[in-house]
Structure 1
Amino acid sequence: MSEEVNKNQEAENLQNEAEKKSESTEKQELNRESTDQENKDQASEESKLESEAKSEDSSESSTLEAETTKKSSKIDSADANEQDSPSDAVADSDSTETSQPEPNQTTKNATDELDEANAEDSEDEDVSKRHEIELKDYDSMSLDELVIEIEKLLSNEKIQSIREHVTQIKIAFDKKFNEIIEEKKEAFIEEGGNIIDFQYTSPVKKKFNSIYFDYREKRDQYYNQLKKNLNQNLKERLSIIEELKNMIGAGESMNSTFQHFKDLQERWKNAGPIPKSEYRQVWENYHFHVERFYDFLHLDREFRDLDFKHNLDQKLKLISRAEELIKEDDINRAFRELQLLHKMWKEELGPVAREFREEIWEKFSHATQQIHDKRQAYFEELDKEREKNLAVKEEVIEEIRKIADQEVTSHNDAQTKIKNIEKLREIFFKAGKVPRKDMDEIWNAFKKHTRTFNRKKNAFYKNLKQDQFENLKKKLDLIEVAEEHKDSEDFETTTPLMKKIQDQWKEIGHVPRKDSDKIWKKFKNACNHYFNRLHSKKNEDLDEEFKAFLAKKDLINKVKSAQLPDNKDESLKTIEGFIEEWGEIGAVPRNKKYIEGKFNKTLDQLFKKTGVEKKEAELLKYESRLHDLDEGSERDINREVFFIRKKIDETKDNINQFENNLQFFSSTDDSNPLVKEVKDKIERYRDELSMWKTKLDKLNQL
């Protein structure tokens, strides 16, 4: 009985271990299981390489596999011909019924899924750690973010725990980078490039390749060592099966035989993982010989029944826990723990009495099927949630289509559309996963309309480049003009020309980007060279003009204090001398022009003292203006001519206006004060007209 207690205690420890293992799955992401299914359809080069690293057989493993196949093919007849013990007859009759009945197809699908998961995990001693690492939405990340994520995983996690994460990161990175390459390739071809010469890379791609290369090296090292370990473990398990097979009829005492059997069970439990491809066959082979050993124990029913009871108790606990898992809200946690329960059922517990075998297996299978159905319903509900993501992505694609259907009309229009497309692309990638059945269709539609826009954009810029080459030629012509005149001394003529070509430069438009800075610098340097010279000249002139202003100011004071001779002719000569001296002094700064008015008022007082008529005095004063014009440029003379002609026209208009006004009076007699006022104004305007005409004649003489 103490042995039975020990066995029950051992079973309870196993149960506690299963519960402890199941708790480690609570941190996994809800989308982990859906990702497991999707990865079956999206096997990347990385996962293939890993699979090859795991399943590639050396000459040693080939021999082991052949041995396993040979042994499994002889299971039904194993020891059938042995005649050493009456137990053989019992073994033959009992071996016709397996430890668990043949399940129906629905239940078989559920158990096969668990067997497949356990077989895969049998190669990984750290499977719980793999499920605890967060699986993020890598599709929504940028290229830089994906590089940061894979670098972080490689630095912080075990290499065997990140396979699934790295695979999804690489799929997302390649998808986005390949799209960029397609865009660059189309632009290259449309610009006239040969596809053979096309090359494109980027710093982010180089960095990703470097990190991924490091990952593959570490992964290959790990799996090469793992392959050796798996094959060694396989050899150990086959050896255990062989010992188990040879125990029957060995002639040892029952106590010794049973203890040997328990030792083999313990060795089997600690033998370690084996290749996935061998998992099912090796376990079935082992399980067959375990059942055969229990049938052999009919000679000592005390040992057999005691162990049957222990196994029954433990399997009932597993069934009870499986039924509790049906109510578990965390579907992924329930599946992972159910996976552990199946592993304990098959690998750690032996058979039960024949009358209980079918009943307990049906209960266990029924609970398994319910969890499986609940899990399938969860995936269906997950797809319904992803329908919302699908709707978002369909809206994004429709917006991209609308933009792609429009023609690009200008550079600003192209840039606006590019920004809008980029925003829509960001929304598309961050929208999340869509149902698997829609993945290819939605991605192809996205690529189709994006490429349509890119083709139109590239075609627009191709045509725009033709215009830019023409603009380049026009600007080069302006540079030639600027450099030809930058050292000109004829500032009056060259300054308007330089300002004009600057305005033309602004109106021409864009040139090819590679030439833009170069030609702008040449043009700017030529213009700056000229205008710096112009400003320097103006500064010199300003200094001279300010000196002239001071001299003219002194002259005004001199004129004011002058004593004129009593003789009129002598007085006029003195005044004309002042006027000539004024003209010889030169021009004054523009903001000092008011000094001309002061000089004229001073002269008017002298003319008044001398008794000179107003018209004669005005013409004498104009002599100084003529002197300035004679010293100035032709442009100044033309401006003065335009001014006087304008005054002549205005004066004529005033005369005509007042003459017309006289017609409205019934009498033109001077006795009417209004008539007299009008006639006086007409007379003044005629005097002014005569004066302006005289000034124009003098100007024409210049």
Structure 2
Amino acid sequence: MKTELISKLEELLSRDAGEVANDVRTLQKEYQKLWTLEFEKARQAFVDEGGKSKEFEYPKQPEDLKFESLIDKFSKLKKENEAKQASEQAKNLVIRQEIISKIKDLSKLSDNVGAAIKMLQELQSQWKETGSVSSHKYKEIQAEYSKAIEDFYYNLKIYRDLQEHDLKRNFENKTELITKLKAIMSVDNIKEAERLIKVYRNEWEEIGPVPNEKWDEIKQNYKAVLDEVYAKIKTHYHGIEEKKENNLQFKLSLIEKAKELVASMEGAGMKKWNEATEKIIALQGDWKTGGRTTEKDNEKIWAEFRGICDSFFEMKKGFFASMNEKFAASRKLKNELIVKAEALKDSTDWQKTGLALMKLQDEWKKHPGNGDKEEPHLFQKFRKACNAFFDAKKAHFETVDASFENNLKVKEELLAKINTFTENTSRDELKALATEWNNAGMVPLKDKKRMNDAFYAKLDELYDKMHIDKSEKATIQYKTKIERMAGSESAFDALRKEAEYLKKLSDEINNNIRTYDNNLGFFKHSKGSPLMKEFENKIEAEKAKLLEIKTKRDLVTEELNKIREATKTTA
């Protein structure tokens, strides 16, 4: 694209500098836009690679130097052209002044009207053929010329009929010109409207005089139309300035939003950084479509907005640099877990290996990915190794399930039996039936939940209806709960979590006891203190809880050991 613009500029330099000035300015703007786009892209790449925006340097390319040299050449040609034009305009001014002087002399002739008119026509032709003068002299010299022509016609005794004909024709031409001026009101392109006004005003000055009795009227009409057209142009430019002011306020609001966004990033995580990046890019898009502002503010607010955006991306770069360090440590740990999982995946020690893999899975969960792009790939490898073992374990126990059909029949009979029990059934009978249920062995996995849910629901219902001590009832129901866990599909996991919960509870109670013991130390010299008694009671209560928890932990440990033994047997 730059090469194409350089070629166009070289072509324009072969033409007159005054004629192509606007085209050259247009090419300059287009080239500047291209250069700015390349500059912004290069600077962003520099920042993305770790550089700081303020340290970025962008050397000019050979094409840029070529284009600048052509512009310098054009500037010299333009200056030479303007100097030449100024010299020619000065000569033309002298010629036109001489023509006006000759016309004034003609108005003094009265004896040879025909020769005077002929000479006037020659001078008018010479006036038209004479080149232009400087713009600040044009109006003055043109008015002087028009006045000289009018003086000639009014002061010279010419044929009345010819004079009336010319005056009438001039009136018609000026009336038609006023109509053309009115039509400018419907022209949407302001530049075109300004060009037409200049053309029509020149034509007005070149048209001769009109009848004296109609001069004031047509002059007022002409002035009124001009005022109306100029009012339209003024309104247009006022609207542009108003729009620029609105654009300024809009862009100032974008700056405030960008500032708020940057301020809100303190302590932000990856998700928020990614969301904020989308927002900052959206603000940049809004800025590009927000239009130009007032000339005195345009560069200033752009520099401020660009600085805020640069600051945001510098902060983002720093954040992701620190995140990459964390990702590296996390990846190392997870690769180690993958190696361990892959080493276990072909094992047939179902119990031990299952526990080992579950520990690895728990360790994996302690280190979330937090947006690391490598996380899905690593997790897929880890899950593949785990699934290989657990799928093999499942297939193994599905074949084992076939040997549990007889146990299922026994438990179906026991389930039917417990459904005949009522609240009048003795506790010994219930305990015996529960023992018989546990001794009946395992059933196929697909029936395990259905059978256990139905049996223990009925067992809980019968215990609830019995009038027994609350403590004993709680112990029985807890034991039923543990037996129910032991019969569930994920028995080992459920019991292990229960054991962990009880240990945590036991640790908390031991901490409470130590705290109360420490507090008692403050009252060792205050025998009989109410507070001392209160702490002693609390310690006793906590110790009672500890004994209760120990009983529960023993029950859970017993069931876990049964499962471990059963797994070894079926392995």
- TM exceeding 0.5: no
Higher relative contact order (CA closer than 8 Å, sequence separation 6+): 1
TM (norm. structure 1) is 0.37
TM-score (norm 2): 0.44
Larger radius of gyration: 1
